[in-house]
Structure 1
Amino acid sequence: MEKTVSTRSMIFTLYGDYISHYGNAIWIGSLIRLLKEFGHNEQSVRAAMSRMSKQGWVQSEKKGNKSYYSLTDRGEARMDEASKRIYKLESPEWDGAWRMLIYTIPEEKRHLRDELRQELIWSGFGALSTSCWITPNPMEQQIKRLVEKYEVGSYVTFFRATHEGMSDHASLVEKCWDLDKINERYSEFIKEYSQDFIIDKHNIVKGDLSDGSCFVKRALLVHQYRKFLFIDPSLPQELLPEKWIGDSAAHLFGEYYRILEKPATRFFESVFEQG
């Protein structure tokens, strides 16, 4: 079992993959029981939920003597965006336009600038220059939410533009993103999970893999694949290199996820219903 997965990261994974599809709320007791499967104790779960609540990701509600936690609007928006990118099997089509965000955030607000930069990276933007970020994807709604969240409307300018030169699109992409490095990471993912996929598929058919084991394997698979959200800008097919293997990794993830889905869901429901 992977011991380095933080409690907070695994909670995000469970919300995105399970809880948001079951009414968005979960009894803290059920969450504690689920996370016990990954080696997280009650104290770490309660501490992580408290931090996530203060950060605006989740909110709590009392029903009798039980506490239930659900995603906030901000949390739901993040999960929706993440799900669209995680579960896509092929790169999106391109409308030919570039979205460009330029900010001039003063030094005394540099903490906002740093947080905004991290959000832009997560959303797939690439840095064309220090304060100029671009993406070929339609990110208008996400940018609106970011500007409102950090209250930086007076410091930000956003364009939908065409690239007229002086270099070609490939050179522009190369300047903003290291696709070779991302391709290497996808290659490592395929090498690591291809054999496990074959073995687990065989064991599930034979009935040699418990529902609890499938639940853990599926959650850890999603957790590992979710890391690509922080490095892969999800570029359209037209802008990807010829030997791009991101789509192959996506198909492996999708197939592995599918064979684990039914037994993993059975285990989740058996615990979730206890609340």
Structure 2
Amino acid sequence: MEKKTLNTRSMIFTLYGDYIRHYGNVIWIGSLIRLLKEFGHNEQSVRAAVSRMSKQGWLQSEKKGNKSYYYLTERGRDRMDEAAERIYKLESPKWDGEWLILVYTIPEEKRHIRDELRKELVWSGFGLLSNSCWITPNPLDGQIHNLIQKYDIEGYVNYFRASHEGMSDHKSLVQRCWDLDEINELYSQFIQNYSQKYIIDKNKIEKGDMSDGSCFVERTMLVHQYRKFLFVDPGLPQELLPQDWLGDSAAALFADYYKTLAEPATRFFESVFEQGNQEIKKDNHYNFLDHPYMSPQSNNHS
């Protein structure tokens, strides 16, 4: 089954991001094992993944009596916040007609920094125009400053804000930097895979034929699949997208399906969480119908 192919560490990150961080950011290991059992992960693999994540600095443990609780470290929380911010790049912001251009010459002895920087730039939505020259139509000045500071590369970087005067048009420039056809094909596959599934599950839930546990699994799988677009979609402004762009339709489908699964899924999570985590309180501001992947744009369509 598809759900068993997802690695345990990745699933734990998803559960912290989607649920646990809204419930005091901490969970009893027994509850985590019980939740991951729904996806086919056994106790041994959960304990091994948690131990590895602790060694890597993502999680920290705390003993209360004979129970072990795990919470995200500051580094782990920062990563979650950073991911949540980056998610908003899928909103297709209004474009002011200008481009940010980032050019760097990082020496060979700092090659590892260059490789890391490249990954970060792609993840933030930059496109490679030519060797070491990256562009974006989005206002990512903040990300640029953060990256320069993070990698301590001030002396190797120049960045500009500019208008594109030629010799090709904007859309040709976009084609050189991003493969929108390939991204659109991925959106098309997502829509094909999930439109029918959404209608079937919606009917089942309305008739009471789908368990809360199944809704919990499906909601988590839906988020997992949709999250992949964060790694490939640069979140370009509407003006630069092709007419047959499917990103908005995929976002609307995600929002509708997510909201349909959210209540029973949360009910299941809380029923498991309440056993062994009685002293932990839910964040008062948490609304299970909201999700950072749902941009205002996708909500307008749904």
Q: Do the aligned partners of 2:127 and 2:135 also contact (CA within 8 Å) in 1?
A: yes
Where do 5+ consecutive residues of structure 1 fail to align?
none
Distance verdict in 2 for CA 1:132–1:10, change over 3 Å: same
Q: Which moved more, 1:108-117 or 1:227-236?
A: 108-117
Report the secondary structure of 1:229's partner residue.
Answer: helix
Q: How does 1:113-124 map to 2 (within 5 A)?
A: 113-124=114-125
Q: Structure 1 residue 82: deviation in Å?
A: 4.1
* 1:222 paired residue number: 223
- Equivalent position amino acid for 1:70 in 2: L
Instruction: Structure 2 unaligned segments of length 5 or more: list them.
Output: 278-302
| Counterparts of residues 1-275 of structure 1 (less than 5 Å) | 1-2=1-2, 3-56=4-57, 58-65=58-65, 66-71=68-73, 72=75, 73-85=77-89, 91-274=92-275, 275=277
User: How many residue pairs end up in the alignment?
Assistant: 271
C-alpha spacing 1:215/1:182, structure 2 compared with 1 (3 Å): same
Name the CA shift for 1:152/1:271 in 2 (closer, same or farther; >3 Å).
Answer: farther
The range that moved more, 93-102 or 264-273, is: 93-102
- Identity level (%): 69
For 2:52 and 2:126, how far apart are their aligned partners in 1?
27
- In the TM superposition, what is the alpha-carbon distance from 1:83 to its structure 2 partner? 4.0
Q: Give SS of 1:67's match.
A: strand
* Bigger Cα displacement from structure 2, 113-122 vs 260-269: 113-122
The whole-number CA distance in structure 2 between the counterparts of 1:83 and 1:28 is 28
Kept in 1, the 8 Å contact 2:93–2:238? The answer is: yes
TM-score normalised according to structure 1 size: 0.90
Give SS of 2:121's match. Answer: helix
Residues 268, 113 of structure 1: alpha-carbon distance in 2 compared, 3 angstrom cutoff: same
1:237–1:55 distance in 2 versus 1, CA, 3 Å: farther
Q: What is the TM-score normalised by the length of structure 2?
A: 0.83
- CA RMSD across the alignment: 2.0
Deviation of the 1:174 alpha carbon: 0.5
- The separation in 1 between residues aligned to 2:245 and 2:97, in whole angstroms, is 20
Worse overlay, 256-265 or 107-116? 107-116
Change (3 A) 1:159 1:43: farther
**Inter-CA distance 232–206: structure 2 relative to 1 (3 Å threshold):** same
CA distance in 1, matches of 2:147, 2:64: 36
SS of the residue 2:5 aligns to? coil
Q: Helix, strand or coil for the counterpart of 1:23?
A: coil
AA aligned to 2:225 is Q
1:143-177 C-alpha deviation (Å, 9 max, x unpaired): 33333333333322233332222222111100000
**How far does residue 94 in structure 1 lie from its aligned partner after superposition?**
1.5
